[in-house]
């Protein structure tokens, strides 16, 4: 009797899951579709292929022959089979007789593990339940305001961070031993991985996925990645992952035209084909596809305790004319992709309802849509948006010969005009160090010494400008060569004194950033910054103040973008008193030539711009300094 009641309960749950799947409200769809253990030795397989003529389960267990036909539910389009033939570890696919009668082997879209490339069969795999030990970390994240915390992200492509001598990459079991201590030593608050979902071509860097629920077998097992995340949390490091809901791999045996008709993709070929990236666009307005994608995001967050997701290529989901080639206006005659717009709002609403502390970050390059902020106001509901404008302008400026910089000073000051329009994250990402763009260090003007000086200057500006931070691996020590996805980083660089000191500089800057509330405590408000002088184009020196909650908690930042030392340089200050230099990019320990900091400065009652007091100091050529109030009179604001 108990067994009968149990079976009845299971069937009722299946029916509920099927109903919510059809309406786009099932956000744990992996519990319905895919392969599941019913009882010892017995599995059920379910796959959605509404317009297929027939579907067969094929694999190691039946010599890949169509001896195991599946049954279709005509209402849901889901095909099902229960079998005792399959066992854990077997490889399998679905043989689908498509709507046209064509027969083709297709992957299981809900597989949680695949065989190693170049094969793409699913492996019948059960992830054992983990007893997590990261409760203190997760509890702390719930109790604190993410916008009032430092966030300094180290972006990683896991298989090219380090390689073995034979050329094989590190798995996550090895990254736990080496990358986690490195993140802690370098002072990063978070690590972000380029897509970890299964993908058939390393050259795609993971952005053309086939398995939206599967950790790429190239990186190890799901248990390996769980252990890595736990180790990060035990070391007070958050873990983020890139995720790609806009488009998917074009390979015929994966998701495209799964049942022979537009199933996961738009029915309009112009909307379905992503010509720019050679992939296929999801139909983001289809309820079943919404369930599929939101379930994928939920799965990664819940199965791996991720602290956040960076959604890739948001612009491609928002605008019909984003791609190359012909496009069709929407019903209003415009270029808005309403399906993508409402899907992204739904995605963020669902994630935030279930996991309020999980960070949702958008990689988005336009300014026509409010990306961050409340959905009720028309925004998409993301927590942060990559500030691509800041990144493009600043890198263009630092690549420039200093003789021309005075005429293009707006490239480093323009961001102050719009910096609070969104909650921004400043990215110095992988996209800027590939395809002939040169590494960050190689972009810098001048000889090798000047390049390192400017890189230190750039990173100081990066850390003191409002916005969260992201730096791609290898950039922390100024790797000269561009990033190569199929090789490890140039760790041999660290045998060089300038590279080694650059790495130490970055680590100390990271710790300085975390230790200074003025750099992150109010950065979602204009109260966080005062511009001292953004018009000194003749000398090419920028100065501003970053402020924390406490009146006395502020930093004065001075950046000299010219190869000329500025002696007796005037800087306006808000209060009379003394100011101490706490940061100087040209110190010998950082790779510069200075052996001592500037002496403590006492303000003079001389007007400077909007300030009634100023200090005089020396700013190194191509250098940056930061000063902190030592003894000031807070009652005499000038």
**What pLDDT is stored for residue 10 in this prediction?**
58
Q: Give the model confidence (pLDDT) of 273-319 as tens digits.
A: 999 999 999 999 999 999 999 999 999 999 999 999 999 999 999 99
398-419: average pLDDT = 96
Q: Give the model confidence (pLDDT) of 520-568 as tens digits.
A: 999 989 999 999 999 999 999 999 999 999 999 999 999 999 999 999 9
Burial of residue 101 (CB within 10 Å: 0-12, 13-18, 19+) is exposed
Q: CATH 3.20.20.80 region(s) of the chain? A: 148-517
C-alpha closest to that of 507 among 179, 148, 183: 183
The answer to whether residues 488 and 161 touch, using CB atoms and an 8 Å cutoff, is: yes
For 205-220, b where at least 16 C-beta lie within 10 A, e where not — what string? bbbbbbbbbbbbbbbb
**What pLDDT is stored for residue 9 in this prediction?**
56
The answer to whether residues 188 and 476 touch, using CB atoms and an 8 Å cutoff, is: no
Judged by DSSP in three states, 94 sits in strand
**What pLDDT is stored for residue 15 in this prediction?**
87
The answer to whether residues 472 and 430 touch, using CB atoms and an 8 Å cutoff, is: yes
Residue with tokens 């480093």: 412
C-alpha closest to that of 312 among 365, 374, 272: 365
Q: Give the model confidence (pLDDT) of 13-47 as tens digits.
A: 888 998 999 999 999 999 999 999 999 999 999 99
Q: Give the model confidence (pLDDT) of 193-228 as tens digits.
A: 999 999 999 889 999 999 999 999 999 999 999 999
Residue with tokens 């380090």: 162
The topology (CATH level 3) of 526-632 is Immunoglobulin-like (2.60.40)
CATH 3.50.50.60 fits 148-517, yes or no: no
C-alpha closest to that of 112 among 258, 230, 216: 216
Asked whether the CA dihedral 138, 142, 143, 144 is positive or negative, the reply is positive
Q: How confident is the model at residue 4 (pLDDT cuts 50, 70, 90)?
A: very low
Q: Give the model confidence (pLDDT) of 327-365 as tens digits.
A: 999 999 999 999 999 999 999 999 999 999 999 999 998
pLDDT(92) > 60: yes
**For residues 489 and 483, what is the distance between their CA atoms, to the nearest angstrom?**
7
Q: Give the model confidence (pLDDT) of 40-71 as tens digits.
A: 999 999 999 999 999 999 999 999 999 999 99
**What pLDDT is stored for residue 366 in this prediction?**
87
**For residues 561 and 474, what is the distance between their CA atoms, to the nearest angstrom?**
24
**What pLDDT is stored for residue 119 in this prediction?**
93
pTM of the model: 0.96
The answer to whether residues 588 and 595 touch, using CB atoms and an 8 Å cutoff, is: yes
Q: Return the C-alpha torsion angle 464, 469, 474, 476, nearest 10.
A: 30
Catalytic positions? 312, 363
The answer to whether residues 65 and 25 touch, using CB atoms and an 8 Å cutoff, is: no
Q: Give the model confidence (pLDDT) of 486-512 as tens digits.
A: 999 999 999 999 999 999 999 999 999
% of the chain exceeding 70 in pLDDT: 98
Strand order in the sheet with 279-281: 247-248, 279-281, 273-274
Q: CATH 2.60.40.1180 region(s) of the chain? A: 526-632
Q: Give the model confidence (pLDDT) of 146-191 as tens digits.
A: 888 999 999 999 999 998 888 888 999 999 999 999 999 999 999 9
**For residues 313 and 243, what is the distance between their CA atoms, to the nearest angstrom?**
9
C-alpha closest to that of 428 among 381, 382, 460: 460
């Amino acid at each position: 009797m108990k067994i009968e009641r149990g079976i009845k309960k299971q069937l009722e749950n299946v029916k509920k899951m099927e109903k919510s799947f059809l309406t786009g409200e099932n956000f744990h769809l992996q519990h319905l579709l895919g392969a599941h253990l019913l009882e010892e030795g017995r599995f059920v397989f379910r796959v959605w292929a509404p317009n297929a003529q027939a579907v067969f389960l094929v694999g190691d267990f039946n010599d890949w022959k169509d001896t195991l036909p599946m049954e279709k539910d005509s209402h849901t389009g889901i095909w099902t089979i229960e079998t005792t033939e399959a066992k854990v570890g077997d490889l399998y696919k679905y043989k689908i007789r498509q709507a046209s009668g064509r027969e083709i082997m297709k992957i299981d879209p809900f597989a949680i593990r695949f065989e190693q490339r170049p094969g793409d069969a699913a492996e019948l795999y059960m992830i054992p339940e983990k007893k997590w030990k990261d409760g203190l970390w997760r509890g702390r994240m719930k109790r604190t305001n993410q916008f009032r915390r430092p966030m300094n992200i180290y972006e990683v492509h896991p298989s090219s961070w380090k390689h073995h001598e034979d050329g094989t990459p590190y798995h996550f079991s090895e990254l736990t031993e080496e990358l986690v201590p490195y993140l802690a030593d370098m002072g990063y608050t978070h690590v972000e991985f380029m897509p970890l979902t299964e993908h058939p071509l390393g050259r795609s860097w993971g952005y053309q996925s086939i398995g939206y629920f599967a950790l790429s077998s190239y990186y190890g097992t799901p248990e390996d990645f769980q252990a890595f995340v736990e180790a990060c949390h035990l070391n007070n490091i958050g873990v983020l992952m890139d995720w790609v809901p806009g488009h998917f791999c074009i390979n015929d045996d994966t998701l495209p035209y799964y049942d022979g008709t537009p199933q996961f993709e738009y029915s309009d070929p112009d909307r379905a084909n992503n010509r720019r990236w050679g992939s296929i666009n999801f139909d983001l307005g289809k309820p079943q596809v919404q369930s599929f994608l939101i379930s994928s995001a939920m799965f990664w967050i819940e199965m791996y305790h991720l602290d956040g997701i960076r959604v890739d290529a948001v612009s491609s989901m928002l605008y019909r004319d984003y791609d190359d080639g012909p496009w069709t206006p929407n019903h209003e005659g415009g270029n808005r992709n309403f399906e993508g717009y409402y899907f992204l709002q739904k995605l963020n609403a669902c994630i935030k309802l279930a996991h309020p502390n999980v960070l949702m970050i958008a990689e988005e390059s336009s300014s026509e849509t409010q990306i961050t902020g409340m959905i009720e106001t028309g925004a998409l509901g993301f927590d942060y948006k990559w500030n691509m404008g800041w990144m493009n302008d600043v890198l263009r400026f630092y690549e420039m010969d200093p003789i021309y910089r005075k005429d293009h000073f707006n490239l480093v000051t323009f961001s102050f005009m719009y910096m609070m329009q969104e909650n921004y994250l400043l990215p110095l990402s992988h996209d800027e160090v590939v395809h002939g763009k040169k590494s960050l260090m190689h972009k810098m003007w001048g000889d090798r010494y000047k390049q390192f000086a400017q890189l230190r200057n750039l990173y100081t500006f990066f850390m003191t400008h409002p916005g969260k931070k992201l730096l791609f691996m290898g950039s922390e020590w100024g790797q000269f060569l561009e990033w190569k996805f199929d090789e490890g980083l140039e760790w041999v660089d660290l045998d060089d004194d300038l590279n080694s000191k650059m790495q130490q500089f970055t680590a100390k800057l990271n710790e300085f950033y975390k230790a200074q509330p003025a750099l992150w405590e109010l950065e979602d408000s204009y109260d966080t910054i005062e511009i001292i002088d953004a018009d000194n184009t003749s000398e090419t020196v920028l100065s501003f103040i970053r402020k924390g909650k406490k009146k006395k908690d502020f930093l004065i930042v001075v950046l000299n973008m010219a190869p000329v030392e500025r002696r007796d340089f005037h800087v306006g200050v808000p209060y009379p008193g003394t100011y101490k230099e706490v940061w100087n990019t040209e110190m010998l320990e950082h790779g510069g030539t200075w052996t001592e900091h500037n002496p403590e400065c006492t303000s003079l009652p001389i007007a400077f711009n909007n300030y009634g007091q100023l200090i005089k100091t020396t700013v190194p050529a191509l250098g940056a300094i930061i000063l902190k109030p030592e003894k000031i009179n807070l009652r005499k604001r000038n």
